[in-house]
Structure 1
Amino acid sequence: MRLIASYISGLIFGIGISISGMANPAKVLNFFDIAGTWDPSLIFVMGGALIVTFIGYRFVLRRPAPTFETSFKLPTRSDLDLPLIGGSALFGVGWGIAGFCPGGALPALGTGRSEVIIFTVALLAGIFAAKALQRFAASRAAAA
């Protein structure tokens, strides 16, 4: 049942991303081009997502536990550190350059377009590089 719920959630997310245009890098890049061909329509997509999240979290977190887990997996840290700020900045710059974010690129993989595949490969390479860098930094800290 957990697998079916995950599939349905992913399907709804992917359809929403596709319908909203978030899987189209030209639409996303036009959103960032304020001085040129600005397309403000993604403000409504993001605003809608914020409203749903705001209401949804309050509704869901009233429950003692999720339906298919024993507890909620929520962040425990609230501080701002260099990895968080740097990662956020890198995410934003990458989104602005490529026109894709992971949430928009993964549903767009179904199109088979080369730029989506290249972005996804680069995304995965970045994830593995970040993990390797974290392991390296942890081993250096442990040795010191």
Structure 2
Amino acid sequence: MRLLSGYIVGLVFGLGIAISGMINPAKVLNFFDIAGTWDPSLAFVMGGALVTTFIGYRLVWRRPAPMIGGGFQLPTNTRLDARLIGGSAVFGLGWGIAGFCPGAALPALGTGQVGVFAFVAALLAGIWVARAVQAGLDARREESAA
């Protein structure tokens, strides 16, 4: 049941991204081109997502536990640290340069465009590098604490 629900959620998300045109990087990049070919449709897509999320959370929090899974998994870290701010900046820069965010790039793989595959490969490489750097920092902290 958990696998099926994950598939259905992913399918709905992918269809929404495709129908809204957000798998087209030019559409996303035009949102950032305020002085040129500005396209406000991304703001409407995000606004719709915000409203849906707001309503969805209000409904979900009324339940004692999720329908699938043991319990709600909420983040516990509330600090704004360099790692969060740096990661957000890298995400924003990558999105502004490539016109893809990871959520839109995965459904866009279905288009077969080489640029999408290059973006996803760079995304995976970036995740690997970030994990390697974090592991090195963690090891250095452990050495200095010992």
What is the TM-score when the length of structure 2 is the normalising length?
0.97
Q: CA–CA distance in 2 between the matches of 1:3 and 1:69?
A: 11
Partner of 2:105: 105
RMSD over aligned CA atoms reads: 0.6
Partner of 1:72: 72
Percent identity, aligned pairs only, is 67
CA shift at 1:58, angstroms? 1.4
CA shift at 1:142, angstroms? 0.3
Gaps of 5+ in 2: none
Divergent runs of 4+, >2 A:
none
CA shift at 1:53, angstroms? 0.6
1:133 matched to 2:104: no
Q: CA–CA distance in 2 between the matches of 1:116 and 1:62?
A: 39
CA shift at 1:47, angstroms? 0.3
1:38 matched to 2:7: no
Cα deviations across residues 81-116 of structure 1 (Å, max 9, x unaligned)? Answer: 000001001100100000000010000001110000
CA shift at 1:127, angstroms? 0.4
Q: CA–CA distance in 1 between the matches of 2:78 and 2:23?
A: 31
After superposition, residues 1-144 of structure 1 pair within 5 angstroms as 1-144=1-144
Q: CA–CA distance in 2 between the matches of 1:96 and 1:70?
A: 38
Aligned residues: 144
Q: CA–CA distance in 2 between the matches of 1:58 and 1:4?
A: 24
Gaps of 5+ in 1: none
What is the TM-score when the length of structure 1 is the normalising length?
0.98
Q: CA–CA distance in 1 between the matches of 2:61 and 2:21?
A: 30
